[in-house]
Amino acid sequence: MSGAAVLAIGSIVAKLLGALYRIPLTNILGAQGMGMYQLVFPVFALFTVLATAGIPTALSRIVAEKRVGGEPTKKYLFSAMLTLGALGAIFAIITFALSGQLAKWQGNSDTRLGFVIIAPTVVLVVIIAGFRGWFQGEMYMIPTAVSNIIEQAVKLGAGIGLSLLLKPRGVIAAVNGALLGLAISEVCALIYLIIVYFVRGKNLRGEKLRLMPGEARNFFKMSFPIAVVALMMPLSNFSDSVIIVNMLKLSGVSEAAATAEYGLLCGPVNSLINMPIVLIMSLAVAIVPSVSVSRVKMDIDGIMLKSKLSVKLSYLIGVPAAFFFGVFAKRIMATIYPALSIAELSIAINLLRISSANIVLLSSMQIYVSLLQALDKTGYAIVSMAIAITIKIVLSLLLTRYVGILGAALAAVTMSVAAYVGVNICYFKICGLHLEKNIGLNLLTGVIMGLVGIGVGSLIKNDIVATAVGFLVCAALYVWLVFLFGLLGREELEYLPMRRLLCGLHRIVRFWEYRDEIG
């Protein structure tokens, strides 16, 4: 959990910077410009996942397992980097060559130059992912956290600066400036990771760099199912980029309005939804090598402890965030995105209310997927997510065509429900993890918090003050209810960051448990 804490702190800072980036960028580009930006990004994400081929996660897992036996690990990094560099170059060329065709498929030919700009960045991202995988396998999470912060900080400065500089030339030029800022941020993050590698890797000199045939076969055999799972969500997002704008156009919406509505869903709304999800993803990243080590050691108790606590934490973060966004959607959107028109603001508010359920569903689903990967049961996750994405694609085609952009949000929530149920059932069959009572109490806690939030919001007229006061009241109430209902036990607090503070709060709320100690 200490590794997860490092990643979580880095993620908090990175997401704050990312939010600071998205807010002015949305106000600079407008809904249509953000729609163009978000049309390019899913393709970029899909190609980078295809290029990484599951290698970084497999690298973190196999390095963690080899460390247990004191075996050298540098050779795995060397082989991974050769493969990642080659794959990154191939997909960068594909992105460049298909730039015009990709723009036509998505229904907006103005994004062609954006694909050209972003193509070389594919190589940078996959190499960065390789370094992060190796460091995570070494249980050294600081480089991942710091490189994430560097990415966001540079993107904030370069992306906003270039988009502002190019805005007088039109929306398309401003969007391309933001994409160029993204490329610059990846260059800076890679330079940092290279420096850290040479500083930390100086003690690894003399290790052989060539994998034996059996080692290479096992390594890439492990990578394949992880690559398939990693491909699922970017493939889902790519399908959105192709389906949503085209279906909206078929329903009678103009190309500019369709792109703007797509931009509202994937820009302002999803960026807010992803903030708490990224915190939980930090836990998911850290849990793979940790549980893999427990599996190698045949430590069943360790697997169950880590599984139970990580799933609990996903609910403890996801549930209050989902209820808070649902209750304060109107206040949050009005505060953060004042440049949106009244019509755009109304759409964004409804999208946020619908999509807030994804915070709980996607975050807990990702924890279960990571646990399945760590236990070498990735096939279960592949089947569950494939079924869920198929359901989403069918519903997106139907609902977006006849309901509009809200139908796309409903289809996404339905996919999350299907994927969550699938991986939950699979993991229960493997480990028999029972958390029904805990989940029920957690949802009850969220409902109580939400009702209090509605009361607070009704008393305060100013959007900024209502959001800030509502957040403080809801956060304090939720923590008190969590301890009151016993959602976290005394022994579990010992494994969490800031355990002294949490133990002190636990002692205050559940004072009756400490009477014997006081006596």
pLDDT of residue 204: 52
Q: What is the pLDDT of residue 126?
A: 87
> What is the predicted pLDDT for the residue at 46?
77
Least trusted range by pLDDT, from 48-57, 201-210, 499-508: 201-210
CA trace torsion 242, 246, 248, 254 (10° rounding): 130
Confidence (pLDDT) at 215: 57
Q: Which of 290-304, 327-341, 480-494 bottoms out in mean pLDDT, i.e. has the lowest?
A: 290-304
Largest Cα separation within the chain, whole Å, is 76
Contact (CB, 8 A) for 222 and 232: no
Residue 500 is predicted with a pLDDT of: 77
pLDDT value of position 149? 86
Whole-angstrom distance, CA of residue 363 vs CA of residue 345? 26
The pLDDT of residue 419 is above 80: yes
Helix (H, G, I), strand (E, B) or coil at 116: helix
Task: Determine the pLDDT at residue 413.
Answer: 92
If you average pLDDT over every residue of the chain, what do you get?
Answer: 80
Place 2 in a pLDDT band, splitting at 50, 70 and 90: low
The percent of residues in the chain predicted with pLDDT above 70, rounded, is 81
pLDDT at residue 170 tops 80: yes
Q: Which of 43-57, 279-293, 417-431 has the lowest mean pLDDT?
A: 279-293
pLDDT tens-place string over residues 279-289? 666 655 555 55
Looking at residue 444, its pLDDT comes to 92
pLDDT value for 410: 92
- Residues 452/477, Cβ–Cβ less than 8 Å: yes
Q: What is the pLDDT of residue 68?
A: 63
Mean pLDDT of the 16-25 span: 73
Query: Quick one: pLDDT at residue 494?
Result: 67
pLDDT score of 181 more than 80: yes
Instruction: Report the range of poorest mean pLDDT among 181-190, 218-227, 380-389, 498-507.
Output: 218-227
Instruction: Give CA–CA dist 222/293, Å, rounded.
Output: 15
What's the pLDDT score for residue 138? 74
Q: What is the pLDDT, as a whole number, of residue 73? A: 65
Q: Are 85 and 122 in contact (CB under 8 A)?
A: no
Tally Cβ neighbours within 10 Å of residue 380: 22
pLDDT score at 452: 94
Alpha-carbon distance of 70 to 201, in angstroms, equals: 16
Contacts of 162 (CB under 8 A, 6+ apart): 177, 178, 180, 181
Model confidence at 503: pLDDT above 80: no
Q: What is the arithmetic mean of pLDDT over 371-387?
A: 81
| pLDDT exceeds 80 at position 352 | yes
> Taking residues 113-127, what's their average pLDDT?
87
Q: What's the pLDDT tens digit per position in 215-246?
A: 556 666 666 666 677 677 777 877 887 888 88
Quote the percentage of the chain above a pLDDT of 90.
Answer: 14
**With 60 as the cut, is the pLDDT of residue 300 above it?**
yes
Closest by CA to 123, choosing from 80, 92, 82, is 92
What's the CA gap between 324 and 207, in Å, rounded? 51
* DSSP letters for 407-428: HHHHHHHHHHHHHHHHHHHHHH
Please give the Cα distance from 82 to 77 (Å, whole number). 9
Kindly report whether the global pTM for this prediction surpasses the value 0.75. no
Q: Which two tokens stand for residue 213?
A: 């045939």
| Gyration radius from the chain CA atoms | 23
215's enclosing H/E stretch is helix 213-250
Cα(370)–Cα(32) distance, rounded to whole angstroms? 36
Statement: residue 62 has pLDDT above 70: yes
Q: How far apart are CA 379 and CA 426, in angstroms?
A: 10
CA distance 171 to 29: 6
pLDDT at 44: 81
Q: Tens of pLDDT along 447-467?
A: 999 999 999 988 888 888 999
Distances (CA, A) of 226 to 63, 126, 143, 325, 344: 15, 15, 22, 32, 39
Grouping H, G, I as helix, E, B as strand and the rest as coil, residue 298 is coil
Q: Which of 73-82, 308-317, 430-439 has the highest mean pLDDT?
A: 308-317
Closest CA to 448 of 324, 325, 291, 289: 324
pLDDT of 391: 92
The rounded Cα 370 to chain-centroid distance in angstroms is: 13
Burial class (CB in 10 A: 0-12, 13-18, 19+), 387: middle
What was the pLDDT predicted at 473? Answer: 94
User: pLDDT at position 450, please?
Assistant: 92
Nearest-10 crossing angle of helices 329-336, 342-355: 130
Q: Does the pLDDT at position 3 exceed 80?
A: no
| Tokens describing residue 176 | 């391309």
For the cut 90, the answer to whether the pLDDT of residue 324 exceeds it is yes
